Structure 1
Amino acid sequence: MGRLIFFFFSFVFSASVAQEVVVLDAESHEPIVNVVIYNLDRSKTALSDVNGKCNLSIFEKNERITFKHLSYEIYRSSKSQIERRRNHIFLTMKAEQLDEVVMSVSKWEQQKKDIPNKVAVIDARSIAFGNPQTSADLLQNSGKVFVQKSQLGGGSPMIRGFATNRLLLSVDGVRMNNAIFRGGNIQNVISIDPYSIKNTEIIFGPGSVIYGSDAIGGVMNFYTKGAFLSQGDSLTYAGNANYRFASANTENTFHFDFNLGKKKWALLTSVSYNDFGDLIMGSHGPDSYLRPMYVIREDGMDRLIENPNPRKQVTSGYNQINVLQKARYRPNHMWDFSLGTYFSQTSDYDRYDRLVRPGRDGYGLRSAEWYYGPQKWFMGNLQVNKKGNGNFYDAFKVTTAYQLFEESRNDRAFQDVELFSTKEKVSSITTNLDFENKRIGKLRLYYGGEYLFNKVRSNGSVANIETNEVSNAPSRYPDGSTWQTFAAYTNAEYKASPNFTLLSGLRYSHVWIDAVFDKSFYPFPFDDADLSTGALTGSLGFSWFPKADLQLTWNASTGFRAPNIDDVGKIFDSEPGSVVVPNPELESEYAYNTEIGIQKNFKDKVMFKGAAFYTYLVDALVRRDFQYNGQTQIDYKGELSNVQAIQNAAKAYVYGFEFGLEAFLSENLSLASNLTLTKGIEEDSDGTDTPGRHVAPTFGDFHIVWKNQKLHMDLFFNYNGEISHDDLALSERSKTYIYDADTNGNPYSPSWYTLNLRSKYTISNALKASLSFENLTDQRYRTYSSGIVAPGLNAIFGIDYTF
């Protein structure tokens, strides 16, 4: 009898557990409290508890059940379908709720409405719908960041008139900028796999108080997916598989990720592989953008051959692999440990803008080969988080990381047998200690310290492609040079009233450079570069709601960029018609910025956002004419070239306006638009004014969005304004081979537009398909300063499977 009672209660308990559902956030996999669950006529209701759990025993097996929460999209299913999904329900947060909390401004979670800085958030749902080819395209899809591309394997963001080493990249709280980030266009953002990104936050304007050197124009923080734990004692698993095809470059992309989780530990593996063919440009546009000929090596000779399809940008294709592995251990609610390893590697890929340069006599092409070797990036990142009960903090986190960057440049002139190569490796060690204290009444304090160390290994070689003989050649940078910095910061948030928040911060950074020059090849008039410099930066701003539907913000901040190894030690780097030489006598450049913002909500139907900004840059590090051993021109690789160097030779000011509009016409139909206008001038020490090199043209977009439970569609228009010849930077005017000619025969960047359509259809809870058409009118255009011509009509197909 006792055994019978035992089996009876075991059966009842098993049946009860089998009908228990766990409601989780689709991104973080954390439980959601107070989710209302009900049937069609609302005669039966239930509520999820603090662990996200709820018993569904009151519902019939095939009864339609609705899951509803104020901050999440409504989810509908039946109990039988839920059982097939292992009794786990994943809800997607509404876009307007996602914007409420950001981490980038202080490295801790803050309400976005309390922050005076302009911060754009690109959430996981937007990334999945945009289905970007690379992380550079992810930024461009936001409509708020301008992206330049020298080649298909590239993407250099521009924000508020600044780019390259005046913008900071961060991955999971670790600075990606290293000692050889250059003033020319930088392609490192493509090392970040868009399929591994949970969300991206972009800070507009200086972020030096928290992020130190380089954060003058803005900060781009990429937060990757984390390993998630099981909500019970059992082992849980989940995963995704994705495929993407694009017609303009016959792209084939494959992605897979898989998560295993127990209550205290979890593992996540993510792998992506991309194969990109040669990119085909549009049909309607300037003939000067076409690729009428290219070089092949045949019978020991370089030959110019006719391109059978001049719209095909031969040889722009490449491939890439990205791998992410994360492990998480949470022994209790106080401690949380996370270890991540990241790896990215491209194949060799051609620098397309150098391959289309005309020959020195105006005929043919100047280069037979010009390609980057594999771009490699590895990072190991250990993060330790602890909550509460400290004397001076409520939480702290330690982030320590090791990164290894590897890149190379290889070029050979037409009909030359010598292939020149330089290869660089940068080892980077980063340690951050960050504290949060929110127990001082209305004041919240954030403070911490940072230490970074970079070591640069660089070597050069020249190979005879006929005899295969290899000899030493000058390196690009002083081999063994180091760059390091130590910093301490504090940031304070004071909520003076429910509708007024004050935010201020202060940081001191000190930077050291040690570089010894090798005089084996060139008789430099100096032996080394030994730099020790400090910088104090600060910020002050407020967020004010004079009315519940109106927000006003103001922010003033300073930023700085300390010289790096690329600035002081670049050894004879060739630019078209010029050669760049080292200059060890450099100082930091400083930026002074102010901005005002407004956000107005019209009856929850229309949302308007606007911002105006002004940035003044002093002691600007710019490339200008220079003398090498008293000479203004030298012979370099057989060409008489002007001598230039990076110098503190200019001041600059940039100002502009940014606008955003969202309109909700019905439950299914909405509109969205962005517009950015930027102007910038560089003023040389002799008083000469020239247009800023990284000031993007006026650009914007306009979206018509329709969606329901199954279908999401977006018909949108992209627009870029013209940059006339007079408004082109001096360094850009010499690049006639990437610009169109105006009526006077001078190079300029024409305006352009594209019409595009994206769509995504939910076939089932597990299976989704997307179909997009970019550049429907098949325009032929180059984005400003880009070498590669943008895709023509491009059909993109994607399939996503979740298990």
Structure 2
Amino acid sequence: MQCSISMCETKTFLFFVLFSWAVSSQQIVVMDAGNGNPVVNVAIYNKDKSKSAITDFDGRCDLSAFNRNERIEFRHISYQPLKTTKALILRKGNKVFLQLKPEQLDEVVMSVSKWEQQRKDIPQKVVSIDAQSIALASPQTSADLLRHSGKVFVQKSQLGGGSPMIRGFATNRVLLSVDGVRMNNAIFRGGNIQNVISIDPFTVKNTEVIFGPGSVIYGSDAIGGVMNFFTKSPRFSFTDSLAFSGSALYRFSTANNENTAHIDFNFGKKRWASYISVSYNDFGDLTMGKHGRDSYLRNHYVVRRNGEDVLVPNADPREQVPSGYDQINLLQKFKFRPNNNYTYDLGLYYSETSDYARYDRLIRPSSDGAGLRSAEWYYGPQKWFMGNFQVTKQGRNKFYDRVKLTTAYQLFEESRNERDFQDPILFRTKEKVDALSVNLDFENKKIGNLRLYYGAEYIFNTVNSDGSQKNIETAEIFDAASRYPDGATWQTFAGYVHGEYHLKPNITLLSGLRYSQVWVDARFDDTFYQFPFDEADIITGALTGSVGFSWFPQENLQFTLNGSTGFRAPNIDDVGKIFDSEPGSVVVPNPDLQPEYAYNIDFGVRKNFNDKVVLSAATYYTYLVDALVRRDFTFNGQSQIEYNGELSNVQAIQNAAKAYVYGFEFGLEAFLNENWSLVSNLTLTEGIEEDDDGTDSPARHVAPTFADVHVLWKSPRFTADLFLNYNGEMPFEDLAFSERSKEFIYATDENGNPFSPSWYTLNFRSQYEITQSLKASLNLENITNQRYRTYSSGIVAPGTNLILGLEYSF
């Protein structure tokens, strides 16, 4: 009898354990896909609405009332509806992620203060590009990710590149940031840069672009804007068991025979989580369009035969030989939350390309016009590593509610390799930058209607640079002048305060101040050039500020007005570079430089018509003083010196100009019904540089008018986007003087002058959910097979391009 009772008790206990496990295993959490925050009051029901549930304050609810394979719908007023099954949710770690409706004005953004803020409270224009939009666009690189947004213009000198332009500024006047750590380093140059391609678009969960100066929070370089890439974070498990999920993707495109593979894994427990990502791209030579200007064709290229350079005809003049390259990207993240007060994040990022040709240099004609100037011109592997450790603490005191300490180490490596036609000497320069940074950021929400953000930043860069000459016939290697002073350093220390004050429920005021101190130290080696100075020792400071307001006279109408200043301190590239800027010109060091300052004002309006139509418009004016520009110079009293065996005109970076840029931006979003929508953007920019002698010239990085129109269809399983891209003409009169000398990349007008013609493309994107775990995408770009070059680009854009992708989630 005792045995029977014992057996009954055991069975009862086991039943209780199993029942408890079954109930707890059906607890789920619903979160915002953009920021991971829980979503409250999400309605959950089955098809006939006979069963229902609702999420609590922590975004949690119990799905035990629903059958395992029953179709369940999630609905919330601010989010797009989602249909799925309980079985799939449980397989994905008991988590559901909802996408914010694009018409919502209360979207959360992080880039303006480094903490979460409602977009409706921010006077600056901020554009968010979410993971769903990125997946539909299927960009090959993060430069393409920005270009596909329709709001950022991107220049390309070669296939392995992409230089964003924002409001007439580019390169070292716009700032790149990854997970809150700036990528801009001491050798970011005024010429076009391609560091953005080191960011793997498969790992980006959200990109925020700030339009206009962001120097109060980000310091030097943030004159035209800030591009902040937030990569995917590890996800915790909400049960006691280990949650495992991941995805694998393959993509192929016809224009450059792309083969791309990506895989990622997420492991999560309640207190710790890990995310791993690997991506590999193999891009072949790019094929241009069929219908367009013959001057863009690649009729000949150089090969090495029997110890000689030979100019050979291209079997397919539309194929841009050589332009292909390959790339690998790795990401490893760890997140640890020992309690509700502390969170520890560790991120390890690595990117490396193969050698890749600088295509615009390979199509330069020789001085006699009979052949090509260069036999070889390529970048060595572009490498980027970042280790980023962050500690976040929830505070309970009068000084802060949250504090975040971010420390990072970055390594940048690149090289340039060039050899003239029939010249056996290959000139090479190699650069390596070690960058350390420490940021301490505070958030305080406990001062009535005032929300305060403040912090400090320290950055230290060391530049290593060397040069060499290699005789490719004898394999002999000789020392040569380096591009930068070897061992040069650039460092800055800054403190800032930024406040958000709600004057009334419908009026928000934002204002901030930052002071930055910058030190530049470079010592010059006179082995190859007799410099008239021994070192550049610059100590300078800059005070920047901003003030603006956001006003809702009605709940669906917003006005914003913002005034801000920005600055860019001279870096090692400005102070100490020696390089061939263009045929027949050489840039030499100039240690007598000061920061350039920008003064900006912008005004915006946004109107929401019953969540059916959203119209937005913005206008801005930016005035740049003491602009750092490349102008004619003398070196030891000489206006010409010999560089790489050629007599070249001497130039240098100087505080020799003023500039003003102004423009208009328009946006339209129309939500016709639950499935159909229309999205359009239009950007117009004008800009002038004025030298100290009163000479005016068009600003170099002012993009032509560009626009797009998208017609979208969205259903739970299928998304399609038919769209038109348009770029206006850039006539000869509007070309910067430095661009007019690059006749080989431009078309010729009726007067024989170079200009950039207008162009358009018709395109289609689609994504279909075959099963709960399997998605397929089909994109067709440039359907009418146009042959065109985007403004200032060396590479010709792809012709008709079929992109096929397959993604499996597990």
Aligned amino acid, residue 184 of structure 2: N
CA RMSD of aligned residues (A): 1.5
Could you tell me how far apart the structure 2 residues matched to 1:575 and 1:59 are?
68
Correspondence 1:630 to 2:634: no
2:406 alignment partner in structure 1: 399
Change beyond 3 A, Cα 1:669–1:55: same
Query: What is the aligned partner in structure 1 of residue 122 from structure 2?
Result: 115
Match of 1:136 in 2: 143
Q: 1:591 to 1:80 in 2, by over 3 A?
A: closer
- Structure 1 residue runs of 5 or longer lacking an equivalent are none
2:655 maps to which of 632, 640, 648:
648
Runs ≥4 residues deviating over 6 A: none
Do 2:680 and 2:709's aligned partners in 1 also have CA atoms closer than 8 Å?
A: yes
Which amino acid in 2 is paired with 1:292? N
Distance 1:81 1:535 in 2: 54
| CA deviations over 1:492-528 (Å, ceiling 9, x no partner) | 1100001000000000001001100000111111111
1:23 aligns with 2:29: yes
2:423 aligned to which of 407, 416, 423 = 416
Indicate how the Cα distance of structure 1 residues 514 and 95 shifts in structure 2: closer, same or farther if over 3 A, else same.
same
Letter in 2 for 1:594: I
CA offset at residue 8 of structure 1?
A: 3.4
- Aligned amino acid, residue 431 of structure 1: V
Deviations 1:38-91 (A, max 9, x none): 233323222334454433343345544333233333233445555665655444
How far did residue 437 of structure 1 move?
0.6
Deviations 1:211-253 (A, max 9, x none): 0000000000000011111112211111111111110000011
Q: Helix, strand or coil: the match of 1:438?
A: strand
- Partner of 1:640, secondary structure, is strand
Q: 1:295 to 1:16 in 2, by over 3 A?
A: same
Task: Give yes or no for the alignment of 1:165 onto 2:172.
Answer: yes
2:555 is the alignment partner of 1:581 = no
Q: What corresponds to 1:509 in structure 2? A: 516
Alpha-carbon contact 1:21-1:88 (below 8 Å) kept: no
1:797 equivalent among 768, 789, 804: 804
Equivalent pairs, count:
803
Cα 1:83/1:397, change in 2 over 3 Å? closer
Kept in 1, the 8 Å contact 2:511–2:547? The answer is yes
Structure 2 Cα separation of the partners of residues 16 and 257 of structure 1 = 32
CA distance in 2, matches of 1:692, 1:69: 47
Aligned match of 2:623: 616
Amino acid at match of 1:424: E
Report deviation, 1:547: 1.2
Question: Aligned with 1:73: secondary structure?
Answer: strand
Call closer, same or farther: CA 1:98–1:605 in 2, change over 3 Å: closer
Distance 1:393 1:90 in 2: 30
Give, in angstroms, the shift of residue 306 of structure 1. Answer: 0.3
Amino acid paired to 1:105 = V
Q: For the structure 1 residues 29 and 18, does the alpha-carbon distance in structure 2 shift closer, same or farther, using more than 3 Å as the test?
A: farther
How do residues 385-534 of structure 1 correspond to structure 2 at under 5 angstroms? Answer: 385-534=392-541
2:15 to 2, 6, 11: 11
Q: Distance in 2 between matches of 1:542 and 1:137?
A: 33
- The 8 Å contact of residues 271 and 338 in structure 2, kept in 1 or not, is answered as yes
2:692 matched to which residue of 1? 685
Tell me the distance in 2 between the aligned counterparts of 1:523 and 1:154: 35
Q: In structure 2, the residue corresponding to 1:95 is in which secondary structure? A: coil
Determine helix, strand or coil for the equivalent of 1:789: coil
Give the unaligned 5+ runs of structure 2.
none
AA at the equivalent of 1:593: N
| CA distance in structure 2 between the aligned counterparts of 1:545 and 1:351, rounded to whole angstroms | 49
1:774 is matched with: 781
Deviates more, 1:609-618 or 1:75-84: 75-84
Matches within 5 A, 1:180-579: 180-579=187-586
Can you list the C-alpha shifts for 1:671-716, whole angstroms capped at 9, x where unaligned?
A: 1100000000000010010000000000010011111111101000
Q: Give 1:800 shift.
A: 1.2
SS at match of 1:743: coil
Tell me, yes or no, if structure 1 residue 720 matches structure 2 residue 741.
no
Question: CA 1:356/1:224 → structure 2, altered by over 3 Å: closer, same or farther?
Answer: same
Q: 1:175: which partner in 2?
A: 182
Counterpart residue identity of residue 50, structure 2: S
TM-score (norm 1): 0.98
Query: 2 CA distance for matches of 1:612 and 1:98?
Result: 19
**% identical aligned pairs:** 69
Q: Give, in whole Å, the separation in 1 of the partners of 2:436 and 2:89.
A: 46
The reply to whether residue 743 of structure 1 matches residue 747 of structure 2 is: no
Partner residue of 1:37? Answer: 44
- Residue number in structure 2 paired with 1:704: 711
Report the AA paired with residue 493 of structure 2.
F
Amino acid at match of 1:22: I
Please say if residues 92 and 244 of structure 2, whose CA atoms lie closer than 8 Å, have aligned partners that are also in contact. Answer: no
Quick check: 2:84–2:772 contact (8 Å CA) kept in 1?
Answer: no
Task: Using the TM superposition, give the Cα deviation of residue 11 of structure 1 relative to its aligned residue in structure 2, in angstroms.
Answer: 2.6
- Tell me which residue corresponds to 1:659: 666
1:101 and 2:108 matched: yes
- Secondary structure at the counterpart of residue 135 of structure 2: helix
Contact 2:711 2:723 in 1 (8 A): yes
SS in 1 for 2:240: coil
Amino acid of the structure 2 residue aligned with 1:427:
D
Residue 221 to residue 81, structure 1, CA distance change in 2 (3 Å): closer
Matched, 1:71 2:78: yes
Cα distance, 1:450 vs structure 2: 0.3
TM-score (norm: length of structure 2): 0.97
Letter in 2 for 1:24: V
**Contact 1:23/1:91, CA 8 A, preserved across alignment:** no
What is the Cα deviation at residue 340 of structure 1? 0.5
Cα deviation for residue 27 of structure 1 reads 5.5
8 Å contact from structure 1 (residues 487, 510) kept in 2: yes
Q: Distance in 1 between matches of 2:308 and 2:418?
A: 16
Moved more, 1-10 or 749-758: 1-10
Moved more, 64-73 or 76-85: 76-85
TM-superposition CA deviations, 1:651-671 (whole Å, max 9, x none): 000000000001111211111
